[in-house]
């Protein structure tokens, strides 16, 4: 983040208000820290294979929403790379 502020052109202005900091804290605490705590706790109730499948679904759902909701375009080599990563993860569990 520091390097992007230093070396990249400014694309938008951030208004450092009370609302911004509240949203930042809520996002950092609940959407990140709490989610990781729950995720780590719940992993002991499922097998390693099911955990891997759940972890594979995370980037797939992010790509799905990025393409169909956000209007992003995935190029051929990005799709090949994603497929190789998913394939390697599944093979390592088999």
Tell me: the pLDDT tens digits for 58-68? Answer: 888 888 888 89
| 62 part of a folded domain | yes
From 87, 82, 81, 62, select the one nearest 72 (Cα to Cα).
62
Contact 48, 93 (CB under 8 A): yes
Q: Which residues of the chain have pLDDT under 70?
A: none
Per DSSP, 76 falls in state H
The domain in which residue 69 lies consists of: 47-94
- Asked if residue 89 and residue 55 are part of one domain, the reply reads yes
- Asked if residue 56 and residue 26 are part of one domain, the reply reads no
How many domains are contained in the chain?
A: 2
| 5 part of a folded domain | no
| 1 part of a folded domain | no
- Asked if residue 93 and residue 57 are part of one domain, the reply reads yes
- What pLDDT does 76 receive? 92
- Asked if residue 63 and residue 94 are part of one domain, the reply reads yes
């Amino acid at each position: 983040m520091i390097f992007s502020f230093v070396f990249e052109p400014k694309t938008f202005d951030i208004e450092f208000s009370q609302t911004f900091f509240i949203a930042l804290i809520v996002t950092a605490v609940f959407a990140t820290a709490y989610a990781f705590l729950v995720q780590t706790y719940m992993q002991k109730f499922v097998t390693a294979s099911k955990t891997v499948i759940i972890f594979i679904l995370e980037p797939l759902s992010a790509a799905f929403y990025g393409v169909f909701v956000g209007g992003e375009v995935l190029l051929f080599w990005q799709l090949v790379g994603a497929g190789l990563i998913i394939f390697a993860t599944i093979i390592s569990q088999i």
